[in-house]
Each structure stands twice: as C-alpha cells, then as structure tokens.
Structure 1
Amino acid sequence: MKVVIIEDEKPAARRLSRMLNEIGIEPIAMLHSVEEAVNWFYSNEHPDLLFLDIQLSDGLSFEIFEEVEVKSAIIFTTAYDEYALKAFKLNSVDYLLKPIDSDELNNAVNQFKNTHTITNDHSFNFEQIKDLISPSETNYKKRFTVKIGQHLKMIFIESIECFYSEDKATHIHTIDGRSYLIEDTLEQLETKLQPDTFFRVSRKYFININAIKDIISYSNSRLKIVLQSYNESEIIVSRERVKDFKNWLG
C-alpha cells in the first residue's frame, strides 16, 4: 500500500509515520504545506491513501484539491471538535482525531483495505466540509434592532454582554448595563451568533467571551460566570456544558 502523510507539524508527521511502520506500512512521502503537496502530486504517481491534516502552514488542505485532481483515498487527521466533525460524517469521510490512537489508526487502515476501491470520483463535498469548519462571518448577526416606545434602536453585537431568557421572553444585556427585549428565541440565536464569541452556558444564557469578568467554581461541578455589568441573577454553566465551555475558552 502506498501512503502519503500531509501534515504541517513535523513531530506529528513523524509520530504518525512511526505508528504506520508498526503496522507494516512505510509512507512514501511526508509533505508539510499546500504548495509542497500540489508540486508533489504534479510530479508523482498518486498514492493509494492520504493521511491529511486540515490546517496546513499555508492554508487549508482543501486548497490542494482546487489545484490537483487527487485520485487517492483520504483519511483526515484533525483536532477539530465534534461539531465540525459532523461534516465528515455527513460526507462519509473517514477521520482520526488528534492525538491519534494506535487502535483507531489500525481500524481505519483495515477498513480501507477491506472496503475501498481506488477511484477519482470523490463521494464527498469539500466545500460543505470547509464551510462547516470555517463558516463565513457574514452569516452571523452584526447588530439587532429593538423597539423603544416609538423609536427603533440599533444594538451592535460588540456592545452585547449576554442574551438571556426571562418570563418566556429573550433579552439583550449591553455593556452599559441596559436590557432590551428582542423577538428571537435563544434557540434561534444559536445559528445567528459567532460561536467564537458567544456561548450558550445554559438553557437561559448566551454570554460574550469578551464580557467575562470572573469564572468561579460552583457546586455540583458547575461554574459561575461574572460579567462586567450584568447582575440581575447568577449565571451558572450547567454541569453538562462545563467541558464544552472550557474547550470554548481554550
């Protein structure tokens, strides 16, 4: 079996190579960038299988396929979280989460051996995967319009500390300490807010990472969040969300 590793972190590439050696596979090349990979594919016979990192030193690995019609099967190696990985599952693409586990690597290779026939007809949509991993910021809300008496007021996303639900209504709380009623539910906001900036810590709250003043250990393995100005009630990260919250902070 001819195998190529495309991975920009050289220690990670060497580790994967050693793991493949242990199961009797000697990679024929280790490539570290989009440019290097494109040049290699133009001048070499395509391998049976690629182990492909998503984020390379000079861009996303998907850019390789914009330049070259790659005829190899692909196993992605990625550190992306479970939400982005939905893209791979939807497109029937095999993947290994970093740090790569030897048993999972062995299973992936055996599955390839047992089921794969080489074809240049990729059955998955690179653009869909790319969009889910790196969504365009233009899809997210940049401002909200609220009604105050007979007037309309624009509230820009940068000035919002949190969104909260109270008495079956949704409110915005801003950095100047004011709250406004909006029509969206918290569920609707999940697809409208930039996930790097806003996180739903519980059924009641979405918070802005830039508004966090303090994070305090709380009972039952939960966390208490203190924002810059919001003090209407305690903001508690529910126990089932603590792990995701910590990952979001990181």
Structure 2
Amino acid sequence: MNVIIIEDEKPAARRLSRLLAELDVSVSIMLHSVEESIAWFQQNEHPDLIFLDIQLSDGLSFEIFDLIEIHSAIIFTTAYDEYALQAFKLNSIDYLLKPIDDEELEKAVAKYRNFKPSTQKIALDFDDIKKLLVNPLEREYKKRFTVRVGQHLKILNADEIECFYSENKGTYAATSDGRNYLLDTTLENLESELEPKLFFRVSRKFYIHVNHIKDIVSYTNSRLQIKLNRYNEQEIIVSRERVKDFKLWLE
C-alpha cells in the first residue's frame, strides 16, 4: 500500500505517521502545502491512499484537485466539519476530525482495506456525512478548562481566556486578569474544542478570543497585529495566509 500524508502541521503529520505505523501502514512521503503537493503529483506516481488535511498553510487542499486529476483514495484529517460535503464529492472513504482518535483511525484504515477500488466506488457513506453536518448551534464546545496550580485544580471559564498560545513546547491560557496558566493539551487538540465563533487561530502560536480584542493594526507584509485587553507578553500577528479568513471571521 502506497500512502502519503498532506498536512501543514509537521508535529501532527509525524503523530499520524506513528499511529499508522502501529497499524502496519507505512507512509512514503509527507507534504505540507498546496503548492508542494501539486508539484509532487505532477512528477510522481499517485499513491493508493492519501491522508489529507483540508486547511493547509497556503490554502484549501481542494485546490489541488482543481489542477490535478487524482484517483487515489482519500481519508480527510481536519479540525473542520463544514467541508464534509465537498469531501463527499471526491474519492473519500472517511473524514476524521482532529484530534484524531486511535480507534477511529483504525476503522478508517480497515474501511479502505475492505474496499476494492477497481470494482467498487470509494465514497463516504451518506450517513457519515449527516453525522458531520451538525448544526453549529447544537454542537457542544468546551466552556471550561481545568489547570493545575500547585496542589490545586483551578477552573477557567472560556469567556475569561483572552488567548491560548504555545511557548517552549507548552500550551498556555492567558486570562483577563493578566495571569497565564499551563495546560495539559496542545493547540492542535484545542481546534475541535473551541467555539469557532469566539476563538480564531491567527497563527501557529495563537488562538484569540474575539471579545478580548482591543485593537487591530496593519503590520508588515500585508499582515495584522492584534492587541488584547491584558495580554502583551508577545506580539500577536495574524499570518498572511490567514488574514482573509480572519477578516471574514470578524464579520
């Protein structure tokens, strides 16, 4: 089985590769952007199976299919469920929401192995799609987070968190009272737990809460700088590839 991973978050790609190795699935190559993937597909034999993130650093991975005709089977790996119908139109056999669950991954691999692509169309079951298309108003997101402070556990309400950020391999929550708390999680894991109407990932290092934005300032290279009410320990810069989505999110 020839398998590749297309994922812009390199730690997430390495984790997925390790999980697949435990299932006796060897990954031949990992790609990290739309541009890199298009160039690779133009020059190489297409794989049997692609594990594909949707939001890459330079755009949506669907752009690859606009330029390259790909017949490989696809298992989508993403933190966003709003693209399920677009995925349904491609050679998709599953759609795994991040953080990827070991058992769900094993089921997806087994589903691929049970298919015979030469005689049977590979596609997501429509029941699977319906499960993903949950009304955002009905979906439950985390309202509280627990952190350890000495020998005690403290509860942080999501509304009081100005931002989540990564620093020195740790993930922190900065609160409206000016304190920073170390969390036992990663920004990648937070992607599926945070209310998207309230929190936005402006860069690889920061998630910010819309209600705690004090100012937005133009920055070099068509980027934006975010100033929060209390947090000011590091510059918060909206990466250039996320500026457009950030402006849409604000509206």
TM-score by length of 1: 0.51
In 2: Cα distance, 1:149 partner to 1:134 partner: 37
- The one-letter code of the counterpart of 2:189 is Q
Q: How many residues align?
A: 137
1:155–1:196 CA distance, 2 compared to 1 (3 A): same
1:124 equivalent to 2:121? Answer no
- The one-letter code of the counterpart of 1:147 is R
Contact 1:87 1:128 in 2 (8 A): no
- The one-letter code of the counterpart of 2:244 is K
Aligned to 1:182: 183
Identity over aligned residues, as a percent? 55
1:235 equivalent to 2:232? Answer no
- Could you list the per-position Cα deviations for residues 11-60 of structure 1 after superposition, in whole angstroms to 9, with x for gaps in the alignment? xxxxxxxxxxxxxxxxxxxxxxxxxxxxxxxxxxxxxxxxxxxxxxxxxx
1:207 equivalent to 2:208? Answer yes
In 1: Cα distance, 2:144 partner to 2:163 partner: 13
1:88 equivalent to 2:85? Answer yes
In 2: Cα distance, 1:171 partner to 1:218 partner: 25
Aligned partner of residue 126 in structure 2, secondary structure: coil
Query: What's the offset of the Cα at 1:85?
Result: 5.1
1:167 equivalent to 2:168? Answer yes
- The RMSD of aligned alpha carbons is 1.9
Alignment of 1:131-170 (within 5 A): 131=134, 134=136, 136-138=138-140, 140-170=141-171
In 2: Cα distance, 1:186 partner to 1:84 partner: 18
- The one-letter code of the counterpart of 1:136 is E
Aligned to 1:247: 248
In 2: Cα distance, 1:135 partner to 1:92 partner: 25
Q: Which structure has the larger Rg over C-alpha atoms?
A: 1
- The one-letter code of the counterpart of 1:124 is F
Query: What's the offset of the Cα at 1:84?
Result: 5.6
1:85–1:172 CA distance, 2 compared to 1 (3 A): closer
Contact 2:202 2:246 in 1 (8 A): yes
Query: What's the offset of the Cα at 1:226?
Result: 0.4
In 2: Cα distance, 1:92 partner to 1:128 partner: 16
Query: What's the offset of the Cα at 1:156?
Result: 0.8
- Could you list the per-position Cα deviations for residues 177-199 of structure 1 after superposition, in whole angstroms to 9, with x for gaps in the alignment? 11000011001100110111000
TM-score by length of 2: 0.51
Contact 1:146 1:154 in 2 (8 A): yes
Query: What's the offset of the Cα at 1:92?
Result: 3.4
Query: What's the offset of the Cα at 1:91?
Result: 3.2
Contact 2:226 2:237 in 1 (8 A): yes
In 2: Cα distance, 1:90 partner to 1:136 partner: 22
Query: What's the offset of the Cα at 1:136?
Result: 3.1
Q: By percentage of residues, which structure has more helix?
A: 1
Contact 1:144 1:154 in 2 (8 A): yes
- Could you list the per-position Cα deviations for residues 100-131 of structure 1 after superposition, in whole angstroms to 9, with x for gaps in the alignment? xxxxxxxxxxxxxxxxxxxxxxx734633531
Q: For structure 2, list consecutive stretches of 5 or more residues without a partner in the other structure.
A: 1-79, 91-124
Contact 2:82 2:133 in 1 (8 A): no
Alignment of 1:93-104 (within 5 A): none
Contact 2:81 2:133 in 1 (8 A): no
